[in-house]
Amino acid sequence: MPTKRVKRAFKYRFYPTDAQAAELSRTFGCVRKVYNMALAARTEAWTLRQERVNYNATSAMLTAWKKTGELAFLGDVSSVPLQQCLRHLQSAFTNFFAKRAQYPRFKSKKKSRKSAEYTTSGFRFRDGSLTLAKMAEPLDIVWSRPLPEGAEPSTVTVSQDAAGRWFVSLLCEDPSVGALPATDAAVGVDAGLDHLLTLSTGEKITNPRHERKDRERLALAQRRLAKKTKGDGANRAKARRKVARIHARIADRRRDTLHKITTRPVRENQTIVIEDLTVRNMLKNGRLARAISDAAWSEFRSLLEYKADWYGREVVAVDRWFPSSKLCSTCGTLQHKMPLNVRTWTCDSCGTTHDRDVNAAKNLLAAGRAVTACGAGVRPQRSSPGGQSAMKQEALRREP
């Protein structure tokens, strides 16, 4: 069986010169302009003439736009990022027509992510130095970790976040990523707020609550920003960057924690069983929305799934209606009520005292194994329609 080739993005921070920063800022603006114009053209063509415009047509439009006096500045930057943004727009429409995403939206100067993607014809990578098109000097990159030996980037994405930090992401094949030796180990994982994760082995991972630690600093920075005169003034921009830096600090620490807690279960277990949570609906709870957002359950699942795919593991998502907390993992008796404030409970049938979260993780593990054995749908889509899955039916058969 041929080895699966995994392409992996390696992200680094870099510090551009004034000339490089100006060139990249112009490129970001042109990418946003071309994307919005192409989106407007495709929308107008369909609305007025019921005509579908594809990537080739928008590419021809770009060539014509560069020849006009008003848009001649598009020729001053590299053409590669402009062509790439048209490809991204084509992918957005493909996902929309396949009902995997909503209709593409226009890019905003203040809110949208500033980025530009370069393919092999738009950059030069030699001896550990990266030089982009239209630039004379290589980027001053902080190589915080080495690239795979002999790596040749296929695409390079340059971006700037709201805090003003510059990043470059290099996409290349990583031969070190491959299927791990198969094992019989399996684990159930219950997500929560008091403890971020509870494993069926009884281990609990503390919720670091990154947002709560910086809440006072963030509130102060936001109050100072609110007092600044609205507009494009320097003082307001400075206050906005301070708020963005605090948000970036919270997001970086949260992402680092999630990477650490998702790598270990994937390496140690062949099967990881989780619950198919509807985080979007849970965020409608006004009292818990902030804590749920800080826990980042959706990001946890995304990291877990792509790492499992890398290393030949399996992630089983249990139906969201499965009563994992109310079901006795010893005898299978279902409790009628289980308020959230009840953290330990005793089964009326067998007398076993359960920790609520550990019991839920054990039930998830048992249900995941049952569904995997019967060959039913083990990984329901997050936007799947209503109705009982095989997991729900398996749970009902266990009721007394």
Report, as residue numbers or ranges, the catalytic residues: 190, 275, 357
Crossing angle (nearest 10°) for helices 55-66 and 18-49: 120
Distance set, CA 114 to CA 25, 143, 346 (Å): 8, 22, 54
